[in-house]
Amino acid sequence: MTSARIGKKTAGGISLDVEFSVPPGVTALFGPSGAGKTLILEALAGFATPDSGRILVDDALLFDAAAQVSVPPHRRACGYVAQRDGLFPHMTLRQNLAFAAHRSPRVERTRRVAEALERFQLGGAAAKRPQEIGPPEKLRGAVARALLAAPKLLLLDERGCGEALLRTIREAFPGPILLVTNDLDLCCAAAERLILLDAGRMVQSGPPRGVLDRPESVDAARVLGIPNVFECSIAALDPGRNSSRLEFSGFAINGPYAPGHFRGDRVWVTVWAEDLRVHAGETERRNNAVPVELVRVSRGVRTVRMEFAGGIFVDVPNEEYEGKKDSKSWQVEFVAEKVRVL
């Protein structure tokens, strides 16, 4: 079992207090800059000493503040791929990989290095130094090198990791992987578990889809980047129809039934920007829709983010926006099933 309880205050103002386990497979750490993600990886690898807590990797005790146990980094068997790849610039890629396999006899070392070069498609870059190869090869090289040291836990502080590379890593390494990422799509596609971090604290954890669909708090919603977070009161509850009536300042909508709440309770609700519907130029008020005034438009690669008065954000595809952009009147429709009561 791999688990960690880490408490640490840094001079930079981060106050870390987390407790989690890392099962086999990919566990993604997600949070804003300064949340403590890199500090967690450094504490596990032994590059930063926690003030309190306990770290177990594959049932081996690596750190225990109370018992004053702290295993040095070179004996922790924690593979670490930093944001900056860390490939040694004075060695070729092949030499970098051979460095990691230094404990193996020469023939075995040569075989393992050749296997790694093939698995990670690095044959063409083997004789080159890191300065002479591109970022994707450098990342694959750093990962291949980390795996050659036969780690029991793999720590990836690499924001450029894609799904294909993670698949290759999983084929080569069945153990636990802790991945720092700012790509929620990657979390859904490749991670078994998602941990949300904010200001040094775990805000929520669980299967990625579950966390994204059911944020449990305002903090979780903000960390996930859900722009629509509103406070309202429960005007009516209908458990038979699995619905409730939610009153905001200026409008009311139907939302899902909120168990554990009563009429009159003040609650927070969230909705992803892409789960709201925009209607343009209609005179009749739609069901569960709110007439709004368009404040601002931000164009992205494939979508347009429309900001309406009242802090309502809606993402629509570029083509849809092009067809509606000249409208003078707007309605935003709330799809009841997509509204989440926190």
Partner 1 sequence: MRVGGVGAAAALAAGVWLAWVLATREFRGGRALETAAEIPAVLPPLILGTYFAFALAGRAEGFTWRTAAVAAAVAALPAMVRAARAAFDGIPRDYGNAARSLGAPGWRVFWRVTAPLAYRPILAAASLAFARLAAEYAVTILVAAQGGARSALLAGPLLPSVGMAAVAALILANRLERRQVRI
State the residues that interact with partner 1 by CB under 8 A.
Answer: 45-47, 72-80, 82, 84, 86-90, 99-100, 102-103, 131, 142, 145-146, 148-149, 151
**Residue with smaller CB distance to partner 1, 141 or 227:** 141
**One-character DSSP codes across 83-149:** SS----TTS-HHHHHHHHTTTS-HHHHHHHHHHHHHHTT-GGGTTS-GGGS-HHHHHHHHHHHHHHT
141 vs 255, which CB is nearer to partner 1?
Answer: 141
Beta carbon nearer to partner 1, 88 or 322? 88
Q: Are strands 25-30 and 193-198 parallel, antiparallel or unpaired?
A: parallel
CB of 332 vs partner 1, minimal distance in Å: 47
Rank residues 82 and 280 by Cβ distance to partner 1 and give the closer one: 82
Tell me if 146 sits within 8 A of 80, measured CB to CB: yes
Q: Which helix (H) or strand (E) holds 330?
A: strand 330-334
Cα Dmax for the chain: 79
Q: In this complex, which beta carbon is closest to partner 1, that of residue 70 or of residue 233?
A: 70
The least CB distance from residue 222 to partner 1, in Å, is: 31
Least separation in angstroms between residue 110's CB and partner 1 is 17
Nearer to partner 1, 2 or 228 (CB): 2
Strands (E), 283-329: 289-292, 294-299, 303-308, 312-317
Q: For the CB of residue 29, give the shortest distance to partner 1 in the complex, in Å.
A: 18
At CA 26, angle to CA 23 and CA 27, rounded to 5?
70
Shortest spacing between CB 44 and partner 1, in angstroms:
10
The nearest distance, CB 329 to partner 1, in angstroms, is: 56
